[in-house]
Amino acid sequence: MCFGRLITAMVTPFDEQLEIDWEVAGSLIDYLIEEQKSDSLVVCGTTGESPTLTDREKEDLFRFAVERAAGRCKIIAGTGSNDTRHSIHLTKMAEQAGVDGVLLVAPYYNKPSQEGMYRHFKAIAEATSLPVVLYNVPGRTGVSLSTETTLRLAQIQNIVATKECASVEQMTEIVAGAPESFVVYSGDDAVTLPALAVGGYGIISVASHIIGAEMKRLIEAYTEGRTADAAKINASCYPVFKGLFHCPHPVPNPVAVKAALRMKGLPVGGVRLPLVDVTDPELDFIRKLIG
């Protein structure tokens, strides 16, 4: 199953009461496909504020995204958690909703061993026929899925990819050791080009909400052998890659990207507690960043 090279981890639009705004959600999906050139969308990932979405909201979002996309792009459901049984439940729910694959974050907070993480992902993969994308993001979870464990998991038939945020070195090792059919995505926008250079396939992105079309041009330039062009595009995109997470101080995702989308005329609303919206100085920084 190919999810394409540019995947957007989609925000969840909220109204003034911080309930899901379905009209804006539909407009956002259209915009990400048509204007920002996303090949696939991750729904209910961390960027979609999955920790504060109920299971019912997630199920409704999975179904809505599948129906709205209508085959124009793939829909990947964020169904990972630190509870294996709950992840299996969410994954089965997503499969019934008609999604094309699932993204499973490494179990956070309870800090399982490598064997525990292997068994966690294996159990979920065996409970579904959907393609599975692993997600290693040590900065958020407190654990890191090792190269060795990732390569063990890559032998399981329907575990087809990983979203890697540990290091370019680890991406390199995974690319070198994994089956040819297993692909590596960067989970860090700023590492899109270096990831491609070491054999990564693409990016699961936040910045693609704002500069997706440019990122698609970057990827195409690199894959077509126009490396100097790719480097130039990367240099022009880099301030946005960094600025959406440091504006100018660290800001938790998706606070900044939601503010940027509002500036672009997409009223995606605010964020649910415990996240809080940008401050006035941060808003000024974002306004200058996206022009």
The predicted pLDDT at position 2 comes to 84
The predicted pLDDT at position 291 comes to 83
Q: Summarize pLDDT for 141-164 with one digit per residue, the tens.
A: 999 999 999 999 999 999 999 999
Domains and CATH numbers, the chain: 6-226 (3.20.20.70)
Helix axes 208-223, 22-34, angle to 10 degrees: 20
**What is the rounded average pLDDT of the residues 203-226?**
98
Q: Which residue has tokens 């009209």?
A: 23
Q: How confident is the model at residue 48 (pLDDT cuts 50, 70, 90)?
A: very high
Q: Summarize pLDDT for 68-98 with one digit per residue, the tens.
A: 999 999 999 999 999 999 999 999 999 999 9
CA distances for 5 relative to 25, 168, 178, 290, angstroms: 23, 17, 18, 23
- Give the alpha-carbon dihedral of 211, 213, 219, 225, to 10 degrees: -130
* Token duo for residue 79: 């169904």
Give the residue among 139, 141, 151 at the shortest CA–CA distance from 112. 141
The predicted pLDDT at position 169 comes to 97
Q: Summarize pLDDT for 223-277 with one digit per residue, the tens.
A: 999 999 999 999 999 999 999 999 888 999 999 999 999 999 999 999 999 999 9
In the chain, what percentage of residues exceed pLDDT 90? 98
**What is the rounded average pLDDT of the residues 173-188?**
97
Give the residue among 8, 16, 21, 130 at the shortest CA–CA distance from 69. 8
pLDDT of 1 > 70? The answer is no
Question: Would you please indicate which residues are annotated as catalytic (active-site) residues?
Answer: 135, 163
What size, in residues, is the chain?
291
The predicted pLDDT at position 113 comes to 98
